[in-house]
Structure 1
Amino acid sequence: MSDADGYFGEQVAERYDRSPDGEFRPDVVERTVDVLAELAGGGRALEFGIGTGRIALPLAARGVPVHGIDLSRAMVARMRSKPGGDAVGVSIGDFATTTVDMTADGPFSLAYLVFNTVMNLADQDAQVACFANAAAHLAPGGCFVVEVLVPELRRIPAGQNVVPFETGPDGWAYTVYDTVTQDATCHYISITPDGRGEARSIPFRYVWPSELDLMARLAGLRLRHRWDGWTRAPFTEDSRQHVSVWEKPRD
């Protein structure tokens, strides 16, 4: 169940950086930051869903001024406790609609939304609003970058709507899909050291690359790049994820 911090309250924030996901590997973070720093081009960057600073802090360490938006004060507090965390500005709120005051420093050259976080916006209206919000913060020529998986519907056998994605002696996780609403609610079951069971669920909305392109077009953005990932390998029909870059026209 969500609270004032959304679905990422203190219980999640406390262990978030210990996630076994490959996205936390230093080489993955470095590749991500390499691309984002290049796209920022010496300008400022705005991260939607800044969380515990997995990307924002190393990007700021490269000399890119970073500001973040996040609903979870608990996640942001974790970032603040890390070296360099106090130097990153944060606006608390829903990144689909929260705006940053640009009176003093002007618009951003880069906005980005990584690690499937666009799917945390659990309905299409919120995802459309997110693109409009990104475009409103960008200077002409600026870019909006989204990293997200390609919907994994090929993994769903006929007549089934549940797909496990993590199993182990201390817990397991699975996704329940609704192919009508594009809902993909993830359920997490974990066993604590004292043998108690804990369960939590987070709603997501999976979204197709072509659907994101239309959202971008509605926001006045146009596609510049679509890669298989941060290595910039070509996006193909077999790609399981994509990193897409949309540009705000200069004219």
Structure 2
Amino acid sequence: MQQEEIWDVDAAQRYDTPGTGMFAPEVLGPTVDRLAELAGGGRALEFAIGTGRVAVPLAERGVPVTGIELSPPMITRLRTKADEATIPVIVGDMATAVAPGEYEVVYLVFNTLSNLLTQAEQVACFRNAARHLSPGGRFVIELWVPELRKLPPGQQAMVWNCEPGYIGLDTYDVLRQQVVSHHFTFDESRQAQLYRSPHRYIWPAELDLMAQLAGLELETRHADWSGSDFTAESRSHVSVYRVQRDQAAVGGLTS
């Protein structure tokens, strides 16, 4: 399944959940606070900007934000919140599309890097981020930690969330480092709806190597946007990569 097929009109219409889930103030507030701090008064570029969950409040904080987004329906949804002059958006793939100018921070949140399904595409995404960064700029990634320790030998699926009206489970292909997330929603009837999305999971160490290939180095890694310590038990991380000093000295990467 192609990403264009996943992020269609239906997905865009159900994406926003104001005040709850990833739109909850306790989730979104620390995200915007940290990104505004890292931007330091400079410009920000969001890969896979979507409907503007992060970009809109970040722009409201006075940070000039530009976006790259593959899905026209998601951009249409964003345009109900902010016009092109406020948040310009380039239509294209975050691994290859180019936005004009340089940025103090490029960011990619909520596990979206895993939407790129090959290692080569993920490496290209890092290089694309580095291409857009000003000397000393930062690339920020929010990503989940693969939970293979919870997958018993011989079992391919794991339930990761179960609550009234919703069950989330992942099926793993450990040979190809692929996972498909299955989201089941249901009510009191006998019917249920299924939404699926494919991903390529990435270990933090592999992520760090991708950064090195792009001329970036790990600056900080925390378990969340509030700066909690990253430990062996952390289920996700926020990693900040910075343009390597020798690259910054020559004005950054050109390839």
TM-score (structure 2 length as normaliser): 0.89
Give the Cα–Cα distance (whole angstroms) in 2 for the partners of residues 162 and 21 of structure 1: 27
Among 227, 231, 236, the residue aligned to 1:232 = 227
Give the Cα–Cα distance (whole angstroms) in 2 for the partners of residues 26 and 169 of structure 1: 22
Q: 1:125 is matched with which residue?
A: 120
5+ long unaligned stretches in structure 2: 250-255
Amino acid aligned to 2:116? L
Secondary structure of 1:122's partner?
Answer: coil
Give the Cα–Cα distance (whole angstroms) in 2 for the partners of residues 200 and 166 of structure 1: 14
Q: 1:201 is matched with which residue?
A: 196
Q: 2:80 is matched with which residue?
A: 81
5+ long unaligned stretches in structure 1: none
Give the Cα–Cα distance (whole angstroms) in 2 for the partners of residues 42 and 2 of structure 1: 37
8 Å Cα contact 2:46/2:108 also seen in 1: yes
Q: 2:89 is matched with which residue?
A: 90
Secondary structure of 2:215's partner?
Answer: coil
Q: 1:62 is matched with which residue?
A: 61
In the alignment, does 2:30 pair up with 1:31? yes
Q: 1:52 is matched with which residue?
A: 51
Q: 1:40 is matched with which residue?
A: 39
- State the 1:23 CA deviation: 2.3
| RMSD (Å), alpha carbons | 2.0
- State the 1:209 CA deviation: 0.5
In the alignment, does 2:214 pair up with 1:241? no
8 Å Cα contact 1:192/1:198 also seen in 2: no
- State the 1:237 CA deviation: 1.3
In the alignment, does 2:182 pair up with 1:183? no
Q: 2:252 is matched with which residue?
A: none
Q: 2:168 is matched with which residue?
A: 173
- State the 1:6 CA deviation: 3.8
- State the 1:191 CA deviation: 4.2
8 Å Cα contact 1:48/1:113 also seen in 2: yes
- State the 1:165 CA deviation: 2.6
Secondary structure of 1:36's partner?
Answer: helix
- State the 1:76 CA deviation: 1.3
Secondary structure of 1:127's partner?
Answer: helix
8 Å Cα contact 2:18/2:24 also seen in 1: no
Give the Cα–Cα distance (whole angstroms) in 1 for the partners of residues 222 and 83 of structure 2: 30
Alignment identity in percent?
Answer: 47
- State the 1:198 CA deviation: 3.5
Secondary structure of 1:203's partner?
Answer: strand
- State the 1:201 CA deviation: 2.2
TM-score (structure 1 length as normaliser): 0.91
Secondary structure of 1:204's partner?
Answer: strand
